[in-house]
C-alpha cells in the first residue's frame, strides 16, 4: 500500500491506530518529525483523553492553561495545515475542549486565524472577554469584516449601479456621470476607420439628482444563537448597502427584543457586529412591526428577512403583516440563512406559507447576494432566481 496514504490515514485515525499500521508495512512504519508535530496538534483536540498538553510525554491533550504551549499549538496548526482546515481545528478546539482561552488571552488571540465562526464565538462570549483582550478581539473581528467586504462590496456596488436609474438621463454635462455604455452604443455609427476611434456626436449623462436614497432597503436579522453566521454576514452586507447613495438602509436585529443598528451600520460595521446579541428567543412579528414604519414607497422598498422562521411570537399576525407588505408592492425576500455551510434547520411550515405568497424563501451563500439585489432592483422574477440559486448551491 502507498506509504503516503498510510501516513495520512494514520494521522486521521490517531495514535491508537499505530499498531495496525505497523502491521501493514513490513519495512517499518514511522512518522517523520513534521508528521509527528501534526499528529501532536491533532491529538490535542481529537484524541479521547483528558491529559494535558503541558505534559510533553503525552500526545493526547486538553491544552490546559499554558499560554506558551497553546501559542505553539496555534503556530503548528497554521504551519502544517491549509487555512480552511486551521479554522475547523480552532473551532473544534473551542467546542470539544472548551478552549475559551483562545479568546481570553491577547497573546494567544493574536495568533488565531480569524474567520466567521471565530467571530460568532467571540460574539457569543463577548460579555466574558477580559478588558485586556477586547482590543485584540476587536482587531480580529475587523480583519474578518474587511475580508468579507473585499469579497462582496465591488460586486454589490456594480450590481446596484447596473440596475438603478440607468434609463434616466440628464441634460447636465458631468464627466463623472457619463453613461459610457449607452453613449458608445448610440455612437457606434460614428466610428472612424482611419483613426480607429468612435467620435461621439452626443454624450449621455446619468441623472445623479435622482440617484440619492432612491430605494429603501431593510435588513431584518434574526440574532438567535442558531443564526450567528447569518447575522454576521447580514450585518456586513448592511454596511455595504449603507455606503451606496441610492439606498436608504435600515438594519434591524431581533430576538424577543428589537434593536435598530442602522446608525452603527453607517458608521462602523465592527461596532454594529458587536451590537448583535446572540441567543435568546425569537419574536419575528415584533421586528416586522417595527420595520413597517420605514416603508414609505412600497414599490421602491426591498425588505429582506434573515431568519430560520421559528416564531415565538404571534405567527398569525406575522403571516398577515408579511402578506400585506407583499401585496402593497414591497419586494419581500426571506433568507433562511446567509452561510457558506448550507441551510440550517428551519420551520418548514412557515417557509411554505411565505412561499405561497410568492415570497422567495431559501438559503443563500454570501456571493449570490449581488445577483439577488440586482434582480430585485430590475423587478425580475425572484422566485426563478431563487430556484436557480438553490440548484447551483
3-state class of 205 per DSSP?
strand
| Nearest residue to 126 (alpha-carbon basis) of 247, 279, 258, 237 | 279
Contact criterion met (CB below 8 Å) for 310 and 284: no
The mean pLDDT of 286-301, rounded to a whole number, is 95
Mean pLDDT, to the nearest integer, of 138-155? Answer: 87
- Quick one: pLDDT at residue 333? 94
How many residues does the structure list for the chain? Answer: 393
* CA–CA dist 67, 50 (Å, integer): 18
Q: How far is CA 22 from CA 7, 40, 201, in A?
A: 11, 19, 81
CA distance 325 to 318: 11
Percent residues over pLDDT 70 in the chain: 77
Q: In this prediction, what percent of the chain has a pLDDT beyond 90?
A: 22
- Residue 27 pLDDT grade (very low, low, confident, very high; cuts 50, 70, 90): low
Asked which of 9-23, 80-94, 316-330 is least confident by mean pLDDT, the reply is 9-23
Q: Which of these, 304, 305, 303, 232, lies nearest to 269 by C-alpha position?
A: 232
* pLDDT for the residue numbered 206: 63
Q: How confident is the model at residue 139 (pLDDT cuts 50, 70, 90)?
A: confident
Average pLDDT over residues 314-321: 96
> For residue range 43-92, what is the model confidence (pLDDT) as tens digits?
877 876 444 444 444 444 444 444 556 656 766 777 778 877 877 777 77
β-partners of residue 205 are: 170, 178
Residue written as cell 412557515?
350
Instruction: Identify the weakest region by mean pLDDT among 262-266, 324-328, 339-343.
Output: 339-343
Rounded CA separation 139/120 (Å): 14
pLDDT attached to residue 252:
94
* Cβ proximity of 267 and 179 under 8 Å: no
pLDDT digits (tens, 9 = 90+) for 211-240: 455 789 999 999 887 788 888 899 899 888
Q: Is the pLDDT of residue 128 over 80?
A: no
Write the Ramachandran bin of 213: left for phi over 0, alpha for psi from -120 to 50, otherwise beta: left
pLDDT digits 0-9 by tens, 173-192: 666 667 787 788 888 888 88
Matching residue, cell 502507498: 2
Helices vs strands, H then E, count in the chain: 18, 10
pLDDT average, residue stretch 156-180: 69
Dump pLDDT digits (tens) for 194-210: 888 888 888 877 655 44
pTM, full prediction:
0.68
Give residues with Cβ within 8 angstroms of 166, minimum separation 6: 179, 182, 206
Checking if the pLDDT of 120 tops 90, the result is no
72: Cα separation from own chain's centroid: 30
pLDDT tops 90 at residue 376 = no
365 DSSP assignment: -
Other residues' Cβ atoms within 10 Å of the Cβ of residue 84 = 10
List of E strands, the chain? 169-170, 191-192, 197-198, 205-206, 215-222, 247-254, 258-260, 301-306, 331-338, 361-364
Nearest one of 101, 104, 95 to 127, comparing CA atoms: 104
Residue indicated by cell numbers 497554521? 78
- Kindly tell me if the per-residue pLDDT of 102 is higher than 60: yes
How confident is the model at residue 196, as a pLDDT?
A: 86
- Is residue 170 within 8 A of residue 177, CB to CB? The reply is yes
Give the model's confidence band at 149: pLDDT under 50 very low, under 70 low, under 90 confident, else very high.
confident
Helix residue spans in 63-130 (DSSP H): 67-80, 83-97, 101-104, 106-109, 116-124
Helix/strand/coil (H, E, C) string of 148-159? HHHHHHHHHHHH
Nearest to 231 by CA among 272, 201, 289: 272
The confidence score (pLDDT) of residue 22 equals 65
pLDDT number for residue 51: 43
Contacts of 2 (CB under 8 A, 6+ apart): none
Amino acid at each position: 500500500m502507498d506509504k503516503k496514504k498510510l501516513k495520512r490515514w494514520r494521522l486521521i485515525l490517531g495514535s491508537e491506530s499505530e499498531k495496525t499500521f505497523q502491521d501493514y508495512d513490513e519495512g517499518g512504519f514511522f512518522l517523520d518529525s513534521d508528521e509527528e508535530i501534526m499528529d501532536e496538534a491533532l491529538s490535542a483536540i481529537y484524541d479521547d483523553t483528558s491529559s494535558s498538553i503541558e505534559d510533553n510525554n503525552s500526545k493526547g491533550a486538553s491544552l490546559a492553561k499554558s499560554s506558551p504551549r497553546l501559542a505553539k499549538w496555534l503556530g503548528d496548526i497554521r504551519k502544517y495545515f491549509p487555512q480552511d482546515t486551521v479554522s475547523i481545528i480552532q473551532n473544534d478546539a473551542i467546542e470539544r475542549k472548551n478552549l475559551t482561552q483562545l479568546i481570553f488571552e491577547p497573546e494567544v488571540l493574536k495568533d488565531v486565524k480569524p474567520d466567521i465562526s471565530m467571530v460568532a464565538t467571540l460574539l457569543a462570549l463577548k460579555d466574558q472577554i477580559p478588558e485586556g483582550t477586547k482590543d485584540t478581539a476587536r482587531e480580529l473581528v475587523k480583519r474578518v469584516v474587511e475580508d468579507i467586504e473585499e469579497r462582496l462590496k465591488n460586486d454589490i456596488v456594480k450590481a446596484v449601479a447596473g440596475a438603478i436609474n440607468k434609463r434616466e438621463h440628464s441634460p447636465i454635462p458631468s464627466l463623472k456621470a457619463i453613461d459610457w455604455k449607452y453613449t458608445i452604443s448610440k455612437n457606434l455609427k460614428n466610428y472612424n476607420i482611419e483613426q480607429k476611434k468612435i467620435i461621439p456626436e452626443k454624450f449621455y449623462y446619468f441623472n445623479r439628482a435622482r440617484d440619492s436614497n432612491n430605494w429603501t432597503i431593510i435588513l431584518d436579522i434574526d440574532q438567535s444563537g442558531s443564526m450567528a453566521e447569518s447575522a454576521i454576514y447580514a450585518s456586513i452586507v448592511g454596511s455595504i448597502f449603507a455606503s451606496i447613495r441610492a439606498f436608504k438602509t435600515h438594519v434591524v436585529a431581533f430576538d424577543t427584543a428589537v434593536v435598530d443598528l442602522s446608525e452603527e451600520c453607517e458608521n462602523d460595521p465592527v461596532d454594529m457586529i458587536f451590537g448583535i446579541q446572540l441567543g435568546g428567543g425569537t419574536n419575528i412579528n415584533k421586528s416586522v412591526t417595527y420595520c413597517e414604519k420605514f416603508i414609505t414607497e412600497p414599490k421602491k422598498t426591498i425588505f429582506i428577512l434573515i431568519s430560520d422562521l421559528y416564531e415565538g411570537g404571534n405567527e398569525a399576525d406575522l403571516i398577515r403583516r408579511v402578506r400585506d407588505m407583499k401585496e402593497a408592492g414591497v419586494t419581500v425576500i426571506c433568507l433562511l440563512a446567509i452561510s457558506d455551510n448550507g441551510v440550517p434547520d428551519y420551520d418548514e411550515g412557515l417557509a411554505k406559507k411565505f412561499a405561497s405568497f410568492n415570497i422567495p424563501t431559501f438559503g443563500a451563500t454570501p456571493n449570490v447576494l449581488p445577483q439577488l439585489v440586482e434582480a430585485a432592483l430590475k423587478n425580475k422574477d425572484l422566485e426563478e432566481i431563487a430556484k436557480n440559486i438553490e440548484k447551483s448551491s
